[in-house]
Structure 1
Amino acid sequence: MLKFSTLAMAALLATSASGLMIAAPATAQKNKKDDKPGFKLSKPVVAVAAPAQTAIRAASTSAIAAQQATDPAAKQTAIATAQQNIATAEPLVGQVEAAATTDDDKYVAAALRYDFENLKLAVAQAVNPKAPIDETVLAKPLDALIASASTPQADKAKYIYRRGILAFNGGQYPVAIQYLTQAKQAGYTDPNLDPLIIKAKLQGGNPTEGLADLNATLKAQEAAGQKPTEEYYRYAIAKSNQQKNVALTVDLLQRYIAAYPTPKNWREVLFTYGLQKDSAAQLDQNQRLDAFRLMRQTNALADQYDYEEYGNLAYTRGLPTEAQSVVKAGLASGKIPASSSVSKQLVADSATAIRNEGALSSSETKAKASKDGKVAAQTADAYLGDGNNAKAIELYNLALTKGGVTTDEVNLHLGIAQARSGDKAGAMASFDKVTGQPRAAIAGFWKVALNSKSVG
């Protein structure tokens, strides 16, 4: 939606001034009594403008035929005809410019020059579609058409818009914003107009305002029930992250994954949020573990790195059962090769740690007798790692009751245990209680997963 390349031939021809009607001198004299109010051209201009326009129109017809031709021979014939007509028109256009004295003369001269230069670009593109297009030759006639009092008001917005595109393609983003905004105010309508203004701002005209406009556009589409494209979301996320607007990046990531909740997208969203270099948030080891847990729940673990990184985080956190479980799952799925020395070591180390662990029941007894909830929270984390969600929920609630714990972390883990056990309402309530960043964002992603039924 936000990709704009140089204009194709059809667009070049469509923005021409070829609607201008210039009668030949003999015809003009014959129909003098029937003339309607319009341009009053001097005789020298009329004498050369009409044949110039005839040649330009003939070349335009040939250029379009060249574009549409599927037979190489027919295409070459059309191009040759267009080039002959260009050669005929070129001196005539120059003569019109030289003879122009009145405002109407100068308007017609600018209109013909604009058509002629558009045509040359179109034919050049037909000859070599991959060659770069130098549109700067259009600036002078466009400026003249925009400034001329003789330019029909219905055409001015079109020329202003085209001037904005010219500035945009030339990287002159503040100038592009000026012209494109004027075109919009003049009533010009085009599906690319608003996206062009936004992109011009984001490219350097006013990045902060451009991002706000882009987000507003997305929200308007969402509110109207029109799901924005993935490309549009991704573009907004990239620009927001580039501007280090963490709050907006998180919001966009959550809206995007709510609209397109595929496993592949879940992985990309969570990596963009906090699992890669230059991510929106910097997560510590425990928070990274919670993000990887969500990747597992949304079937988003994709490769050897994902499984082994998750397993290593769990093992380092003192959760050998969870570490062993995820690594074995990666091996069973074939995403971790059987030859992986890292996985073999993780499985062996986890097995040793599991054998050396004391029974969690003894920790549970200590937790209930403790004056605060720290032991309860630690024991609950162990149960969560073991996959015993019921016990984890019980002890997380005990930890919250006793106090002395990091409330956001306990509520986040309580919500995860509830989500895994199928208690959506309970999980949503626990996630809602997580207020400090970055855990609040992680809780938000879990909520999106629950609402989109991504958790499996």
Structure 2
Amino acid sequence: MMRASLGTLVAAGLLAVSLAAGAADADSKAQTVRPQVGKPLTEAQADIQAKKYADALTKLDEAAAVEKLTAYESYVIARMRASATLGTGDDAAALIAYKAVLDRPELVGDDKQAVLDTVARLSYAGKDYAKAAEYAKAYRAAGGTDAQMPLILAQALYLSDDYADAEHELLAQFEQMQQAGQTPPELPLRLYMSCAVKQNDKTVYRDALRRLVTYYPSADLWQELITHTVAQPGFSNRLLLDMYRLKAATDTIDNADEYEDAAQLALAAGLPGEAQQYIDQGYAKGLLGAGPRAVKDKSLKAAVTAKITEDKRTQAEGESAAAKLKSGDALINTGLNYVGYGQYDKGIALMQQGIDKGHLKAPDDANLHLGYAQMRAGKTADAAASFKSVSGQDGGASLAQLWMLVKPAR
């Protein structure tokens, strides 16, 4: 575990200083060891450096047998005994030895930090997680800054069933990393998500998923995050097509029924070009047009093709009519239709005109759809601005927040 421990190195330095110190006054005498103690300690130190830990312990027993040991001599022996015991691989005995050192009044400053670090790790290895957490906190309070210790603390709290405190510690770590411009490792993010599961906290669970998707995106994580977002109370069925747009962007539409549903919703919204995209993707993945559903899928594909033909005949006329209306809703829908055909610049311009005209039935929907169109066009900065303007409690704002986590296609 810690065979070349910091405790061993500290003990070596401590012994060297002790043996070299003079005896000019009472204070210096208090920090020295007598020759009859120093000789076996020096031999024990050589054995530790040679990894002859059993021999080192024998020499330490010899030093401990000297009569009338001073407090400082006892302290040096205890420090070296802890280091040698750790070297033998007997972590349980090493923990007892290091705890004995912790009780010594001579242990201060950086030395105390080093021993607290070791005791916390040994307690964790011995599965005494509550004590490991206690010592890890003491290490931090003593000024310890080892980069591994915060995670050891969080894991120890989690394994001692203190999920709320583990969550608190992890959030503090994430905040520090964010301020330092660092990316949090995946393990603590996963631990944070598990804390949410243990506490049945759906809000924290979604937050954990958002953090994981931000730094370690995968189709599985996106699928889980979108599913939990849509499952929130109050999520409007009106936004189901918007959900499928996000799933398509994250490659998480993974079955024929979803491709069919997305295409049907797009058709119902007057967006046959977008419907065609879902049909094409479903066929390309081999999910549509095969097996028992082949006839049904072929019929849907034909219906979409027919609607596209009809739509393109009347598209210019519809655009002209939309421009004459007081409300900007028709212009937004017309622009979104062009986006479905891949005409992003034209579509975005019409949608922006519609938003500027105002008198909208659902301004948040308009900004959500504009952000989607801008994402499709690769205009991520513009899209982010549009998504940030989406508010409300019916799910649109939640989807907009997720869109801002989507990595642009390369």
Q: TM-score, normalised by structure 2?
A: 0.70
1:313 alignment partner, one of 258, 261, 264: 261
Residue of structure 1 equivalent to 2:242: 290
Are 1:183 and 2:131 matched, yes or no? Answer: no
Residue of structure 2 equivalent to 1:18: 12
Are 1:442 and 2:394 matched, yes or no? Answer: no
Distance 1:240 1:186, change over 3 A: closer
Residue of structure 1 equivalent to 2:251: 301
Are 1:9 and 2:3 matched, yes or no? Answer: yes
Could you tell me which runs of 5 or more consecutive residues in structure 1 were left unpaired when the two chains were aligned.
1-6, 64-81, 122-133
2:86 alignment partner, one of 115, 118, 139: 118
Are 1:210 and 2:169 matched, yes or no? Answer: yes
Are the equivalent residues in 2 in contact too, given 1:93–1:109 (CA < 8 A)? Answer: yes
Are 1:271 and 2:223 matched, yes or no? Answer: yes
Are 1:61 and 2:44 matched, yes or no? Answer: no
2:122 alignment partner, one of 138, 162, 166: 166
Are the equivalent residues in 1 in contact too, given 2:336–2:347 (CA < 8 A)? Answer: no
Distance 1:419 1:146, change over 3 A: closer
Are 1:336 and 2:283 matched, yes or no? Answer: no
SS in 2 for 1:17: helix
Q: CA RMSD in A?
A: 4.9
Q: CA deviation at 1:214?
A: 1.9
- What letter is aligned with 2:396? R
Could you tell me which runs of 5 or more consecutive residues in structure 2 were left unpaired when the two chains were aligned.
none
Residue of structure 2 equivalent to 1:135: 91
Q: CA deviation at 1:274?
A: 1.4
Distance in 2, matches of 1:211 and 1:367, equals 52
Deviations 1:298-324 (A, max 9, x none): xx537xx63746523313425365344
1:325 alignment partner, one of 273, 277, 284: 277
Are the equivalent residues in 2 in contact too, given 1:233–1:252 (CA < 8 A)? Answer: no
Are the equivalent residues in 2 in contact too, given 1:274–1:288 (CA < 8 A)? Answer: no
Which is worse superposed, 100-109 or 112-121? 100-109
Q: CA deviation at 1:160?
A: 1.8
Distance in 1, matches of 2:324 and 2:363, equals 20
- What letter is aligned with 1:228? T
Are the equivalent residues in 1 in contact too, given 2:37–2:63 (CA < 8 A)? Answer: yes
- What letter is aligned with 1:282? A
- What letter is aligned with 2:171? A
- What letter is aligned with 1:415? G
Q: CA deviation at 1:114?
A: 0.7
SS in 2 for 1:411: helix
Pairing of 1:50-449 with structure 2 (within 5 A): 50-51=39-40, 54-55=43-44, 57-58=46-47, 60-63=48-51, 82=52, 86=54, 88-94=55-61, 102-121=70-89, 135-151=91-107, 153-201=109-157, 203=159, 204-205=161-162, 206-222=165-181, 227-228=182-183, 231=186, 234-235=189-190, 238=193, 242=197, 244=201, 246=203, 249-250=206-207, 253=210, 257=214, 265=217, 267=219, 270-275=222-227, 279=228, 282=231, 287=239, 289-294=241-246, 296-297=248-249, 300-301=250-251, 306=254, 308=256, 311-319=259-267, 321-329=273-281, 331-332=283-284, 335-336=285-286, 340-341=290-291, 344=294, 347-354=297-304, 357=307, 359-360=310-311, 361=314, 364=318, 385=340, 387=342, 390=346, 394=350, 401-403=358-360, 405-421=361-377, 427-437=383-393, 438-449=395-406
Distance 1:117 1:266, change over 3 A: closer
Are the equivalent residues in 2 in contact too, given 1:236–1:252 (CA < 8 A)? Answer: no
Distance 1:115 1:240, change over 3 A: closer
Distance in 2, matches of 1:220 and 1:163, equals 30
Deviations 1:261-313 (A, max 9, x none): xxxx36455324214xxx4662767656435434545xx537xx637465233
Are the equivalent residues in 2 in contact too, given 1:40–1:104 (CA < 8 A)? Answer: yes
Which is worse superposed, 135-144 or 196-205? 196-205
Q: CA deviation at 1:97?
A: 5.2
Distance in 2, matches of 1:8 and 1:342, equals 62
Question: Percent identity, aligned pairs only?
Answer: 20
Question: Aligned pair count?
Answer: 387
Distance in 1, matches of 2:396 and 2:389, equals 10
Distance in 2, matches of 1:241 and 1:397, equals 44
Residue of structure 2 equivalent to 1:71: none
Distance in 2, matches of 1:97 and 1:342, equals 85
